Amino acid sequence: MPLVDVTYAPTVPEACLRELAEVLPHLVSLAVECPEEPYDGDLRPGDVELRFHPLGPLDRSGLAVVIEVRSKWTASREADRQERVDTLHTGIRTATALTDFGVYLSLPVAAWSQGD
């Protein structure tokens, strides 16, 4: 279950953020799909958690949007993580009007539990 944090500048239109919120769950799921956690195309509650945060008055960023993706480490994900994040970046650029953004993929050793 990936956790996705989107930090955005005040210059990013809300319509663009809404568009991003629509496409990110699917694109992130494709980017982190692996044999240990296959993606069947049917997203359910809790499969991808999105959080949007405006830049604060003391924050500094050279990009209008920074998308941070955290997903549990697996050997198959680590083997091609740069390709995965590059493909995710391309998918976001293709599916949205964003141009000034970056994507950070982190694969920590982690565990997740969710009730029924």
Structural domain that includes position 51: 3-106
pLDDT band at 14 (very low <50, low <70, confident <90, very high): very high
Helices 14-32 and 81-95: crossing angle in degrees, nearest 10, is: 150
pLDDT in tens, 46-102: 889 999 999 999 999 999 999 999 999 999 999 999 999 999 999 999 999 899 999
44 within some domain: yes
Kindly report the CA angle at 17 between 14 and 22, in degrees rounded to 5? Answer: 130
112 within some domain: no
What CATH number corresponds to the domain at position 94? 3.30.429.10
